[in-house]
Amino acid sequence: VRHQSPQVLLIKNGECIYHTSHADISMEDIKALQRA
**1-36: pLDDT as tens digits:** 888 899 999 999 999 999 999 999 999 999 999 888
Cα angle vertex 9, ends 30, 22, to 5°? 80
CA 26 to CA 13: how far, in whole Å? 21
pLDDT at 26: 94
Q: Which residues contact 29 (CB under 8 A, 6 or more apart)?
A: 18, 20
Decide: 18 and 30 in contact? Cβ < 8 Å: yes
